[in-house]
Amino acid sequence: MKRILHYFSDGRFVIFLALAAFSGTALSATEVPATLIISGTISKGTVAANKNDRINVINAKSGVEEGFGIVEDSSGFYTITLSKTTDFKGTELNFQLVKNGVIYALLDSGKPATVIFNALGFFPAQLSLDMTVGSKIGGSPTNPGNGNAGGGTPAGGNGALPGTGGATVELKFDKKFDINGDNDFTQADIDIIKNSVAHSKGSTAADINKDGRVTTLDIILAIKAYTRFIKGR
């Protein structure tokens, strides 16, 4: 997805400067406030994002929750305002959707959605990021400060699969995409490939193009096939 970085040029910026100048008096020289505003739309994946669902911002390295945002309407539009200090620059962040106490991965082009915190000093930076709801990765209500919320639990075979509804239809897909062997081609199969890439312990089944490695190319091949498969249903 396209990510656009620009600065606010409206009145909010002036207010921000005033606040930043005020709070700056209490900070040491190395701790300059830096604010990143992330916004975009969360598309329906395993589930849809609804108004007031929470978005956790997770430190990709430590798994610690760094902040959160809220889904603002039924289209899945969300905003996250992340206020840190400039020494936070360069931190890699992932995202989770919390819906009725269940945590889902948020994906960008089939991979965990990622941004690098790039706000510098007093200018709030804005980043656009559209995401899709991925597989269920946790089932307990979010506990602020609980660093385990970001755990990369392998997602294959959990209960958060897209519903295939009662109707029996002739399913046509290449069997090589049925990674978990349940005779269906679902998000769960893609998630297994995704997790194989993320954890560098790929199963041979996840090596779609049989080049001996499980890479993002395998994810892309599977997602393309999945999109065609869903359209053909």
Give me the residues that bind Ca ion (CB under 5 A), please. Answer: 178, 180, 182, 184, 189, 207, 209, 211, 213, 218
Cα distances from 139 to residues 115, 117, 136, 173, in angstroms, run 24, 27, 8, 31
51 versus 233: smaller Cβ distance to Ca ion: 233
CB of 176 to Ca ion, least distance (A): 11
Rounded least distance, CB 214 to Ca ion, Å: 6
Q: From CA 121, how far away is CA 104, in angstroms rounded?
A: 32
φ, ψ dihedrals at 95, nearest 5°:
-135, 150
Q: Is the dihedral of CA 22, 23, 29, 34 positive or negative?
A: negative
72 versus 184: smaller Cβ distance to Ca ion: 184
Least CB distance to Ca ion at residue 45 (A): 16
Q: Which of 183, 198, 199, 192 is nearest to 223 (CA)?
A: 192
What long-range pairs does 167-171 form, CB within 8 A, spacing at least 24? 169/233, 171/229, 171/233
Q: How far is the CB of 228 from Ca ion (least distance, A)?
A: 16
Least separation in angstroms between residue 10's CB and Ca ion is: 47
**Which residue, 53 or 189, has its beta carbon nearer to Ca ion?**
189
Q: Nearer to Ca ion by C-beta: 32 or 220?
A: 220
Pick 91 or 195: Cβ nearer Ca ion = 195
**Shortest distance in whole angstroms from residue 132 CB to Ca ion:** 19
Q: How far is the CB of 112 from Ca ion (least distance, A)?
A: 19
| Whole-angstrom distance, CA of residue 134 vs CA of residue 189 | 12
Q: Is 211 exposed, middle or buried (0-12, 13-18, 19+ CB in 10 A)?
A: exposed
Q: Which is nearer to Ca ion, 28 or 204 (CB)?
A: 204
Q: Between 32 and 217, whose beta carbon lies closer to Ca ion?
A: 217
